[in-house]
Amino acid sequence: MTTETQAEKKKVIFSGMQPSGNITLGNYLGALKNWTKLKDEYNCLFCIVDLHALTVRQDPTELRKRSRQLLMQYIAAGLDPEKNIIYYQSHVSAHAELAWILNCYTYMGELNRMTQFKEKSQRHSENINAGLFTYPVLMAADILLYQTDLVPVGNDQSQHLELTRDVANRFNNLYGQTFTVPEGYFPKVGARIMSLQEPTKKMSKSDENPNAYIALLDPPDVIVRKLKRAVTDSEGKIAYNDNQPGIKNLINIYCSITEESIESTVERFSGLGYGDFKMKVAEVVVEELRPLQEKFRELEKDKKYIDSIIKNNAEKASYIAAKTLRKVKRKVGLPNTI
Ligand code: AQP
């Protein structure tokens, strides 16, 4: 078998992140770090889903800057822009086109049930726009355009993936086999990392309080300071349970990085005070992020290289996406281009 045929046989993985803030240790441990383990085994597309970020008001200059930074952080974390397709969603117009078509095959009732819409419309009550409502349809288009087999998702996204599968099946039933129906890919490691200030809420890059999250590019002294300030409890005991969500979160962070078991971590640190334990966590976080931050700074200096990645990968993604879009247009009866 030639290398090319082997590559073709690999399953397709699609995943993405929104440049809606500076990505956090939560995004890294829950998604990015796991992606780096898949990058050789699968045909991977890792997207910067900038169109999705528009569902919440963004400062245009900041959005552009963060999108580029996110792309560089993907590479700095270990994704390979030669083997993986790393690109901006807005550079491949097929995403928006397919989303429109799929909007016509998705029911209001289905979208009304989406819990993320309910949650985000509460959080952004001043701006409940139609994009926020149809967000899952754009996500379905992202996935289906590439005939994706597997989508690494956290629990928070499983409802959207189910909708993608329903829409794909509906379309295939109406028009014959058009889309691969994707499955969720649930990584073995990748705890849900919680806010450092409200440990019952997930760590989010768009949190208004920067002390609630560790950004991947936070310098070591900032990481130490944020962890020292992390909210804990008055039990004074290192234990892993829901009554001590702050300490539980710090243990999860520590174990996700070191891959040590929770039991042995709790046992090893059981005699420590919270202050000392926080310093142990800070040490492993700083060391984990150090190489990523160094690589990021190198990449930042090489504008030409990053520009070439942006261009080449957008072309690769567009080529694959155009094939699916052409098929879809033909099936629904849109006229051929002349
Ligand atoms: N706290 C978290 N712990 C573990 N995994 C997480 N992810 C997000 N937060 C955590 C995973 O990161 C990926 C990218 O997510 P996204 O950019 O699509 O947006 P999100 O899930 O809404 O992440 P944020 O940080 O909370 O963004 P904002 O604040 O903009 O809403 C996903 O795979 C997600 O599971």
3-state secondary structure of 47: strand
* Distance in Å, CA 27 to ligand 1 centroid: 5
CA max distance for the chain: 75
Domains of the chain and any CATH numbers: 3-186+303-332 (3.40.50.620), 210-298 (1.10.240.10)
Residues 130, 134: Cα–Cα separation, whole Å: 6
* Distance in Å, CA 270 to ligand 1 centroid: 31
Instruction: Identify the residue whose C-alpha is closest to ligand 1 atom 12.
Output: 27
Number of Cβ atoms within 10 Å of the Cβ of 107: 12
* Distance in Å, CA 203 to ligand 1 centroid: 8
- Give, for 13, the enclosing helix (H) or strand (E): strand 12-17
Q: What is the pTM of this model?
A: 0.93
Residues 299, 73: Cα–Cα separation, whole Å: 9
- Those residues whose C-beta lies under 8 Å from the C-beta of residue 224, and which sit 6 or more positions away, are 279, 282, 286
Best of 15, 17, 79 for a ligand 1 pocket test (most atoms within 8 Å of beta carbon): 17
What residues are labeled active site? 120, 202, 205
The confidence score (pLDDT) of residue 188 equals: 64
Q: Would you give per-residue pLDDT tens digits along the chain (338 residues)? A: 445 555 558 999 999 999 998 899 999 998 999 999 998 899 999 999 999 999 999 999 999 999 999 999 999 999 999 999 999 999 999 999 999 999 999 999 999 999 999 988 998 899 999 999 999 999 999 999 999 999 998 777 889 999 999 999 999 999 999 999 999 987 665 678 999 999 999 999 889 999 999 999 999 999 999 999 999 999 999 999 999 999 999 999 999 999 999 999 999 999 999 999 999 999 999 999 999 999 999 999 999 999 999 999 999 999 999 999 999 999 999 998 88
Best of 34, 153, 204 for a ligand 1 pocket test (most atoms within 8 Å of beta carbon): 204
Q: What does the DSSP assignment read for 280-308?
A: HHHHHHHHHHHHHHHHHHHHHH-HHHHHH
Ligand 1 atom closest to 116 (CA): 22
- Those residues whose C-beta lies under 8 Å from the C-beta of residue 263, and which sit 6 or more positions away, are none
Instruction: Identify the residue whose C-alpha is closest to ligand 1 atom 11.
Output: 27
* Distance in Å, CA 187 to ligand 1 centroid: 15
3-state secondary structure of 216: coil
Q: Pocket around ligand 1: residues whose beta carbon is below 6 Å from it?
A: 17-18, 20-21, 24, 26-27, 30-31, 154, 156-157, 192-193, 202-206
- 3-state SS, one letter per residue, for 136-200: HHHHHHHHHCCCCCEEECCHHHHHHHHHHHHHHHHHHHHHCCCCCCCEEECCCCCCCCECCCCCC
Contact 280, 254 (CB under 8 A): yes
Q: Is 221 exposed, middle or buried (0-12, 13-18, 19+ CB in 10 A)?
A: exposed
pLDDT digits (tens, 9 = 90+) for 148-184: 999 998 777 889 999 999 999 999 999 999 999 999 9
